[in-house]
Amino acid sequence: MKIRRIFSGCFALLALVSVAAGAQAPRPNIIFILADDLGYGELGSYGQELIKTPHLDRMAAEGMRFTQFYAGSTVCAPSRSVLMTGQHLGHTRVRGNAGGRNMDAQSLQAGDVTIARVLQQAGYATGLVGKWGLGEQDQPGEPLKQGFDYYFGFLSQTHAHNHFPSFLWRNGEKVSLPNDLVQIGPVPGAGYSTNRIVCGDDLLATDALAFIERHRSKSFFLFYSMVTPHANNERSRELGEGNEVPEQGIYADRPWHESARNHAAMVSRMDRDVGALFAQLKKLGLDESTLVMFSSDNGPHKEGGPNYDPAFFTPSGPLTGLKRSLTDGGIRVPFLARWPGRIKPGAVSGHVGYFGDLMATWSEIAGGKPPAKLDSVSVVPTLLGRGAQPKHEHLYWEFYEQGVSQAVLLDGRWKAIRLKSPTQPIALYDLANDIAEKTDVAAKHAEIVTRAAGLMKTVRFDNEHWKLAAPPAAAK
């Protein structure tokens, strides 16, 4: 009896210690900041010399910088679908930009399980501020139906081109703004403003800070989906200048073309808003209890208008290609992670990962239960320096413009690309020795090409809206 009481006392003490430890180390807040069309080489920490990004460079210095991390796609909507569902482009719901042509093809459905839903069910307050692009107000992909408690910003990606919008959306309600609208095309709100009274980017930045303050006492997940430095495509076509920014700031006196000054100002304003977010975390005492990650949805754009030359800033760094390319310039993106006291400052990782991995990563950190059949590998071992880091044997992409193109990355090294048709030959590049993908080595590595061709058939399936083109019938 005496021994039993001693054991009971020990267990009670252990329980108290466990509770105390849990109180000292609660689940972290999670913030994911996603830039729009920012290239691998457009931050100072990734080699940029002309555009100033001091806050993001400090984030890299205080956290971890990944050198081979990939977006979900080479354009925005499918990249976000991969991010949200933890499934690559052969499995995720939305696999291309449908624009205003067929919005059902660009909406998540009721059966899809997003990382927002997983975190919401784990007890997190969930918020989206910025661009969504995966479902309109009357569709099953609308954010409140996909695991978000709150959202503010743009539902349509085409509407999000307009940096001075006439309205935004908040939880299903239209928020009117004083900017006028020259409507271009069928998507409501798409076009440009002539009076440019309120910058939508500034409203998003303010709302992100307000969301953090409202949820300071509860674990929260914030998807801060910026719309910079995406150009206003409609303004580019109508007025010839789509790098739309309120002022050129520190670049106003640079001896560059106006379009280049505008683009640089967009990137630096984005960096400024990231700095304000970190200041808010410090002010509220949340800095050490918040994991912040930063990336871009795809490679750099060339949509600023006829006077914008993206090569001026070398936005893809040492990589080849831009947005809409399946070479690494279109899909390899900057990726930073900062969690004071948990992630080692100044760390650099060559681990090969992609957007789909964030489902497993955030679920593990938050204690959530992700769905089965994912294409997702947690990068927690890399982030926290504990245990062996599982690796992908391959990563996979599809691209639905001018036919259907496919790409497979094998063992983090061999990049196989087939353009526009499943009947076309496969090009192969050795990223270990040819990061710019200049030399096709398919003829020298037939076994790797065969392996890639097999994966292009077996790691994917069609859905109702996104199908590989059937091979042509044999000639008679």
The neighbour count for residue 364, using CB atoms within 10 Å, is 15
Q: Is 304 left (phi over 0), alpha (psi -120 to 50) or beta?
A: alpha
- Rounded to two decimals, the pTM is 0.93
Contact 426, 416 (CB under 8 A): yes
pLDDT attached to residue 6: 30
Which stretches of the chain score pLDDT less than 50?
A: 1-24, 471-476
pLDDT attached to residue 99: 67
For residue 285, CA distances in Å to 30, 108, 128, 272, 281 come to 15, 36, 22, 20, 6
pLDDT attached to residue 101: 74
For residue 271, CA distances in Å to 43, 197, 326 come to 9, 22, 27
Residue showing tokens 């526009």:
420
pLDDT attached to residue 1: 36
Omega before 28 within 30 of 0, i.e. cis: no
pLDDT attached to residue 4: 32
Contact 441, 417 (CB under 8 A): no
Q: Hey, what domains does the chain have and what are their CATH numbers?
A: 28-392 (3.40.720.10), 395-458 (3.30.1120.10)
Give phi and psi for 126, each to the nearest 5: -120, 130
For 272-279, the CB contacts below 8 A with 24+ separation are 272/55, 273/201, 273/204, 273/205, 273/208, 273/226, 274/33, 274/55, 274/56, 274/59, 275/54, 275/55, 276/205, 276/209, 277/31, 277/33, 277/205, 277/208, 277/209, 277/212, 277/224, 278/55, 278/59
Q: Looking at the DSSP assignment, which residues form a beta bridge with residue 406?
A: 398, 418
